[in-house]
C-alpha cells in the first residue's frame, strides 16, 4: 500500500522494459514520480541553497565572469547600477558591450574605487577587452549567472522556470528594493554588519537576504518553511493527474493530495 510521496513502491507490476508512466496505477505512479524526479530535485535544490548561502557568509569570495573576478554585489553597487539604468538590474533593452563593461568594472575585484593611475589603467584594460568582443552574448550569459547567484534567495519559482529560454534575461530588483532590505536588517542589528563590522550597505546582498530570512523565521516563531516540499508535492500530483488523463483521453482527478 502506498501512503504518498516518500514511500517506496513495494511491488512493481511492470516488466523490465515496460514504461512505468504507462502501466503503473495512479498511487504507484505518484510514488514512482516522487522517488525518481521530485525528491532528487528537492535534494539538488537544498544542496545548491546550502552552497550559495555558505558563500555569502565568507568575506573575500569572488566569482568568475569571463577572465575577470567579481566580488559579491552590495546594495551600494545596486544603487549605482540602477542609477545608470544598467539593464542587468533595470527593465530595458538587452545589454550591449557598454552595459557589460560598466557592470563588470563596477563589481571587479581589482577596482579599488579610486581615481588613481593604476585603477584607471585596470579599468581601461577591462573595458577595452570587452569592447573588442565580437559576440557579447556569452558574457551576458555569465553576468546573468552571477546575478542569479546574488539574488538567489529572492527567487521562489523553480530553477527551470527561472532559466526558461522563452523569458527575457533575469533582472535583479531595482533601487526600491534597497530601502526595505536595509530597514529590515538595520532594525534588528543596527547599521553595522555583526559579522564583518562593515556598514550594511557595503556587505554582500546575499548576506543581507539571509539575515532577512532569519529575522522573518524568528518572527514566525522559528517555524520551518516547507514551501519547497509543498510545491513539489503539488506539481507531482498535477503531473500524475495529467498522465492518467492522457491515458484515458479525458480529464482525471483519480489521485488526491498526499
pLDDT at 52: 67
Note the Cα 124 to chain centre separation in Å. Answer: 32
Closest to 172 (Cα-Cα) out of 241, 80, 258: 80
pLDDT recorded at residue 158? 42
Q: In terms of pLDDT, which residue wins out, 15 or 119?
A: 119
CB 52 within 8 A of CB 63: no
φ, ψ (nearest 5 deg) of residue 167: -105, 155
Q: Which H or E run contains 65?
A: strand 63-65
Give the pLDDT score at 19: 78
- On average, the pLDDT of the chain sits at 80
Instruction: For 15-73, write each residue's pLDDT tens digit.
Output: 445 677 777 888 888 888 888 888 888 777 766 677 666 676 778 889 999 999 999 99
Tens of pLDDT, residues 77-87: 999 999 999 99
Instruction: Sort strands 63-65 and 68-70 into parallel, antiparallel or unpaired.
Output: antiparallel
How confident is the model over 81-94, as a mean pLDDT? 90
Of the given ranges (91-100, 163-172, 236-245), which has the lowest mean pLDDT? 163-172
pLDDT digits (tens, 9 = 90+) for 175-231: 677 888 899 999 998 999 988 999 999 999 999 998 988 888 888 775 666 676 778
pLDDT above 90 (res 135): yes
Amino acid at each position: 500500500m502506498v501512503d504518498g510521496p516518500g514511500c517506496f513502491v513495494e511491488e512493481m507490476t511492470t516488466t523490465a522494459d515496460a514504461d512505468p508512466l504507462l502501466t503503473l496505477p495512479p498511487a504507484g505512479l505518484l510514488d514512482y514520480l516522487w522517488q525518481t524526479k521530485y525528491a532528487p530535485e528537492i535534494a539538488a535544490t537544498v544542496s545548491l541553497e546550502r552552497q550559495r548561502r555558505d558563500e555569502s557568509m565568507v568575506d573575500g569570495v569572488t566569482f568568475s565572469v569571463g577572465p575577470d573576478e567579481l566580488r559579491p554585489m552590495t546594495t551600494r553597487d545596486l544603487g549605482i547600477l540602477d542609477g545608470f539604468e544598467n539593464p542587468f538590474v533595470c527593465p530595458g533593452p538587452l545589454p550591449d558591450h557598454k552595459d557589460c563593461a560598466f557592470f563588470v568594472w563596477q563589481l571587479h575585484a581589482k577596482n579599488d574605487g579610486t581615481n588613481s593611475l593604476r585603477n584607471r589603467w585596470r579599468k581601461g584594460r577591462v573595458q577595452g577587452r570587452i569592447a573588442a568582443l565580437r559576440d557579447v552574448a556569452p558574457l551576458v550569459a555569465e553576468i546573468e549567472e552571477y546575478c542569479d547567484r546574488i539574488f538567489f534567495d529572492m527567487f521562489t519559482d523553480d530553477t527551470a522556470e527561472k532559466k526558461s529560454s522563452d523569458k527575457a534575461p533575469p533582472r535583479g530588483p531595482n533601487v526600491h528594493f534597497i530601502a526595505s532590505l536595509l530597514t529590515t536588517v538595520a532594525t534588528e542589528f543596527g547599521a553595522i554588519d555583526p559579522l564583518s563590522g562593515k556598514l550594511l550597505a557595503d556587505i554582500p546582498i546575499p548576506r543581507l537576504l539571509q539575515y532577512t530570512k532569519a529575522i522573518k523565521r524568528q518572527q514566525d516563531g522559528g517555524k520551518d518553511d516547507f514551501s519547497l516540499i509543498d510545491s513539489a508535492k503539488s506539481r507531482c500530483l498535477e503531473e500524475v493527474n495529467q498522465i492518467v488523463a492522457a491515458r484515458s483521453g479525458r480529464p482525471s482527478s483519480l489521485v488526491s493530495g498526499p
